Chains A and B, each alone.
Chain A
Amino acid sequence: MHDLFAEFMTHIQGMWRFRWYGLALAWLVAGGGWASVYLMPDQYEASARVYVDTQSVLKPLLKGLAVETDVMTEVNMVSSALLSGPNLEKVATETNLISRAATSKDLEKLLNGLKRALKIEPSAYQNMYTISFQDTDPQMAKRVVEAFVGGLVHDTMGSKKSDSTAAHEFLVEQIREYESRLTVAEQRLANFKREHVGTMPRRGEDYYGQLQSAGDLLNSKRADLRIALNTRDQLRKQLEGEVPVFGLMPDANRSSSATTALDLEIAKQRVRLNELRLQYTDKHPDIEAINQVLDELHERKSVEQEALNASPAAALEKNPIFQNMKISASRADVEVARLQTEVADAAREMKRLQKLVDTIPEVEANLVRLNRDYEITKAQYEALVERLESARLSEEAEQRSEFRIIDPAVAPLIPSGPPRTLFLGAVLLAAMGGAFAVMFLLHQLRPVFGSTRAVRQHTDFPVLGTVSMKWMPRQKMSLRLGLGSFAVVLMLLIAAFVGAVKFKDTGPRVVQDLVASVELPL
């Protein structure tokens, strides 16, 4: 390690011989470099922020039907499409940037530069992008960004529109197809129904169900009929005196009056009489009145009874209970007749169904199939229609919000570049580097013996020894002087750098004006 260092130092010593050459070169490079940095025209960056929402329109349309496109891909697609040759040329023409190109080669360079310089960067927020462009003319920068953003809006919308139009058309087409299919299915179903009108199943029941319920119906009707018959017979018997009815028949207890109404009246009067008798004596006029009534009633009753005894059949006829019985009997007859008809109908129906044991199930199956087909078609059709509708709605709703300019391009007042400090520093580094390079080069071109190793390496002579340098005071003085002056010049270079950096804001304009004023007369 020590040897390496020692060798390194010999090289340094060798290069030191040419320090003034190096310094001169450094000054040259630095001077020229800094001047050119100062001559660089200011760059102005205009930028615009836009909001791009590609999801709204594309996704619902293409969901499940096509591949979903990624937002970034969409933007990339659009921006790379926009950064194509003809588009760039359009932007260049629109903003009059094209006037800067004289030849076709210049134009190519200009367009390439434009492509590289137009930056589309996503920002921290989702869906927000910053479009920026740098130029020496702030107005031009603004115009380019505006043109580009305008083109982007137009093209994105257009592409979206075309995409959505394509999807739209697709949907419409599909709907049409399904519509026709639906019509066909409907037709088929109608035809079928018409053909098998007699054998169409009742609502909610298939053939076997029908058979079953027909049987059940028959049975119940038959049962009903039986009951009705029984009832009718029973009533007939009653009428004909086969069945004893309480207080009705002539050979029954005659003491009881046929006229229950009269009896009731008599009872009522008797109760009244009793009440009155509690308060008054028999001599009271009310009581006497009641007695009279009672007498009359009794008379009527005995008259009636006589009449009844004379003709029991007539009394019977007058009997309301008897009359009711007669009504019930006729009703029972009617009922029986009705039920008989119903039973007959049910039996007939049963027979009919039994006859169709073969055909009805098949028909039912066909019907089910046709229905299903129809339902499916209908469902799909409805889904398509719904989607189209929702797409239309969302399209209408989103057309305004899918692409928005948040911050429009503004002509910048303050230059954003070039980074002069950086360049100035780079020039200084280059100057130093160049100085070192030249010193090293010269050292290599005119080599000396820096050490005994060098002597051994480059000559055939043996080394007797080394004698160290002895400095005389006079030599020391001149040495110091030399070193001092070198240091001073070097410091001047550094100072020039510092000065250049300090004046980087105002200096360039001065220098550029100076150059312009000199160039004009040329």
Chain B
Amino acid sequence: MSIIQKALEQSGKVRAKEHRQNDPISFRKKRAKPVYLNAAPRHRLDLRALARKGIYAEGDLALRAAAEYRQIKRPLLDNALNKGPVRIENGNVIMVTSSVPGEGKTFTAINLALSMALEQDSTVLLVDADVTKRDTSNLLNVDNAPGLMDVLLPDSDVALEDVLLRTDNLNLVILPAGQRHSNAAELLASRQMELVVRELAARYPDRIILLDSPPLLAGSEARILNRFVGQVVMVVAAVHTLQQVFHEATAQLDPDKPTGVVLNKSQRFLNSDYYYGYYGNEAG
């Protein structure tokens, strides 16, 4: 997003106009309830709380964490913003998943989002697509806020803009999970979801959409989501996830979509930390 656009966004007028013109869904919804995005309160990102919960790194570890995520996001961004070697369709829609629960998807998704939010040339939309566990929403204290599910419900009149939450970090927008529903899987598999994703991807090409999705082997949602995304981040817990399980999980992924592995929870002996301190002294 350009700076000018951002500035104009501040005013809110241009943005609203844009939406009305280009977005059939939101336009439809919009007629019913005009919402001024600039009027919506910005959600406060309580990083301290996140740190306490063990999601965010503070203090000594912050440097290292920052460096780690810097490295991880780079190829993703390159692909997303078409700076990579091959043009990838929907490259800016990235799903963060893993084989089994507990490997650190949410952890990775949030931190990746925070790291990407530091970028100058792009914004980040973090979507809590794990509507069952809704860890992201919980951690960010938007558990009860309206979100994705509200948009996907068949006879819902909730617009996308209504549920997109701005944060006090200008580059980060959150889409919570929304209300609980027993047919979450089906809803995610619906045409509506596809449209939502398409819109999110197409409308703002320089906005990265991170989907915190459920584990691949814990249901079929992840596989479904895989259809809509352009890139996949597989989170693997070091010395924990069995290779066998990993292969089982990744077998469900679309092989044509660029998939990268993030080795999480790594405990390396004698790590060389010297270069962490080189770039700045505080993360995010």
A261 at interface by CB-CB < 8 Å: no
CB distance from A9 to the nearest CB of B (A): 5
Q: Which of A10-18, A118-126, A326-334, A355-363 contacts B (4 or more CB under 8 A)?
A: A10-18
What are the residues of chain B within 8 A of A464 when measuring CB–CB? 71-72, 75-76, 233, 260-262
Within B265-284, which residues are at the interface with A (CB < 8 Å)? Answer: 265-271
**Stretch in B159-167, B181-189, B239-247 with 4+ CB within 8 Å of A:** B239-247
- Mark the stretch among B8-16, B57-65, B147-155 that contacts chain A: B57-65
Contact A468 B239 (CB under 8 A): no
Question: A463 to chain B: which residues have CB within 8 Å?
Answer: 260-263
Known interface pairs A459-B246, A459-B247, A464-B233. Does A14 touch B239 (Cβ–Cβ under 8 Å)?
yes
Are B57 and A465 interface neighbours, CB within 8 A? Answer: no
Would you call A462 and B260 a contact (CB within 8 A)? yes
Contact yes or no, A448 B65, CB < 8 A? no
Whether the Cβ atoms of A461 and B263 lie closer than 8 Å is no
**Chain A contacts for B267, CB-based, 8 A:** 13, 468-469
Looking at the assembled complex, report how far the CB atom of A460 sits from the nearest CB atom of chain B, in whole angstroms.
Answer: 9
Q: Is the CB of B68 within 8 A of A466?
A: yes
B54 sits at the interface (CB 8 A) = yes
Interface residue ranges of B211-252 to A (CB < 8 Å): 233-234, 236, 238-244, 246-247, 250
Q: For the complex, is B104 an interface residue (Cβ under 8 Å from A)?
A: yes
Given the interface pairs A5-B270, A9-B269, A449-B263, the reply to whether A467 lies near B68 with Cβ below 8 Å is yes
B259 within 8 A of A: yes
Main secondary structure of the interface of A (DSSP, over half): mixed
Known: A448-B238, A450-B239. A468 touches B268 (CB 8 A): yes
A28 on interface, CB distance cutoff 8 Å? no
**A448 to B267, alpha carbons, bound, how many Å?**
14
Interface string of A464-483 (1 = CB under 8 A from B): 11111110100100000000
Q: Does A256 contact B (CB under 8 A)?
A: no
* Max chain B Cβ within 10 angstroms of own Cβ: one of A10, A447, A464, A469: A464
Judge whether B71 and A469 touch: CB under 8 Å. no
A284 at the interface (CB under 8 A from B): no
Contacts of A16 in B (CB 8 A): 239
* CB of A333, distance to nearest CB on chain B (Å): 148
Query: Are A467 and B239 in contact (CB-based, < 8 A)?
Result: no
Q: Does A467 lie within 8 Å of B54, measured CB to CB?
A: no
Taking a contact as CB atoms under 8 Å apart, the answer to whether B261 and A451 are in contact is: no
**B261 engages A462 (CB within 8 Å):** yes
Known: A448-B238, A469-B265. A461 touches B71 (CB 8 A): no
Q: Does B141 contact A (CB under 8 A)?
A: no
A303 at the interface (CB under 8 A from B): no
What 1/0 flags go to B58-90 for Cβ under 8 Å of A? 000100110011011001100000000000000
Assess A468 versus B243: contact at CB under 8 Å? Given A449-B263, A455-B236.
no
B72–A467 contact, CB under 8 A? yes
The chain B residue with its CB closest to the CB of A464 is B260
In the assembled complex, the Cα of A469 lies from the Cα of B34 at a distance in Å of 46
Judged by a CB distance under 8 angstroms, whether B106 is at the interface is no
B268–A451 contact, CB under 8 A?
A: yes
**0 or 1 for each of A241-281: is its CB under 8 Å from B? (1 = yes):** 00000000000000000000000000000000000000000
In the bound complex, CA of A489 to CA of B219 (Å): 40
CB distance from A448 to the nearest CB of B (A): 5
Q: Give Cα A17–Cα B157 distance, bound, in whole angstroms.
A: 51
Knowing A462-B260, A464-B75, say if A449 contacts B236 (CB, 8 Å): yes
B263 x A467 contact (CB < 8 A):
yes
Determine whether A458 belongs to the interface, using a CB cutoff of 8 Å to chain B: yes
- The yes or no answer to B122 lying at the interface (CB within 8 A) is no
- Shortest CB-to-CB span from A363 to chain B, Å, is 116
- Other A-B pairs, 4, CB within 8 Å; known A449-B238, A464-B233, A468-B65: A13-B239, A451-B238, A461-B250, A464-B260
Name 18 interchain pairs, CB-CB below 8 A, sorted by A: A446-B244, A448-B241, A448-B242, A450-B238, A451-B238, A451-B263, A461-B259, A463-B261, A463-B262, A464-B261, A465-B69, A465-B72, A467-B68, A467-B264, A468-B68, A468-B266, A470-B57, A470-B61
**Top 3 A-B pairs ranked by shortest CB distance?**
A464-B260, A465-B72, A472-B54
